Amino acid sequence: MPVSFSQWVRESVDHLRSDDGPFVKRIIRSMYFVYVSFLLEISSRVPIGTNVYDREWDMLVILDACRVDAIEEVAPEYEFIESVDSIRSVGSTSFEWMPLTFTREHEDDIAETSYITGNPYTESVFERKDHPPVRDAIPFGPTDYDVVDDDDFDHLEELWKYEQAGDFNRKPPRFTTDRAISTARSRDPEKLIVHYMYPHNPFPLADEGLEKPFDDLKAGNVSRETVWELYLENLRYVLDDVELLLESTDMDRVVITADHGEAFGEYGFYKHIIGCPLPCVRRVPWIRTSAVDTETYEPDREELPSRTTSAEERLKGLGYL
């Protein structure tokens, strides 16, 4: 794991010797991971942000990488969004959010939770007990999180395991919606978490070459306005399915939120990286609504196929590795 002082020194020296941007920025990059070390050490001991289990809900809908201002912009298009509040997330990446959310402190609630998720970090966090960060080394930090095991959930479906290898566009959100509806109707869980991997890039509805536009945005090859519109299109894509989910389940207290937000160049940040302090990444929506099953939709109840892809393949497709 990349909590290693010697590895951080080697990576810092290599980066300082490179020609990757101005020298000052290269120094700032190395020092940023010292800041990340302090942040992870503190957050693993003292909560920074709001753990979702400290709030009241029956069904929690997670829109991966959803910004508050983005959902505010499209909110008038959806009757189930009456107002948009926000909370501070416990992490700025899924790999931070997950081990800081599903902790032993909340194991009684977790034991009543059915978790339907397309996020591939479940294997790293719950099975292998890996810890953040993912790629870049930090000089010190926590190497153990008090996280639950995969069998501590009432029910856990890792949908990413059943996606086609090499298909970075992922399955449409309807796959997650159908599995969530089937779980709600068949198991009637006390708590249900539905974790969509949208509006997180790549953007499957975009024209060829713009499915993963953030590198081009950083390089100035595409405008922020263009990428923003693609992002909103991806957000609408999943919200259309959230609407179906709310019409096909019975849940009094539903909350729509996110694990983290997304950066579009604010102060030099793009996408979402570990320890990012920016509000556009740390603040996430907290939208209260409800769900009533109209019984007008029957989900696809196809048997889940055997595992077809690895967590590493999925994380590469999402740009983490």
**Token output for 186:** 């068949």
Mean pLDDT for back-to-back runs of 10 residues, the chain (321 residues):
82 82 81 89 89 98 98 98 97 95 97 96 92 84 91 95 59 93 96 97 91 93 96 98 98 98 94 94 98 95 58 54 47
Nearest residue to 81 via CA among 211, 219, 256, 212: 256
**Token output for 122:** 């479940």
What are the distances in angstroms from CA 151 to CA 15, 113, 154, 232?
41, 11, 7, 36
| Domain residue limits at 276 | 5-317
Residue 170: give its domain's CATH number: 3.40.720
CA distance 221 to 282: 27
- The SS3 assignment for 58 reads coil
State the residue for tokens 């999180």.
145
Nearest residue to 174 via CA among 211, 204, 150, 153: 204
Count of domains for the chain: 1
CA distance 302 to 82: 34
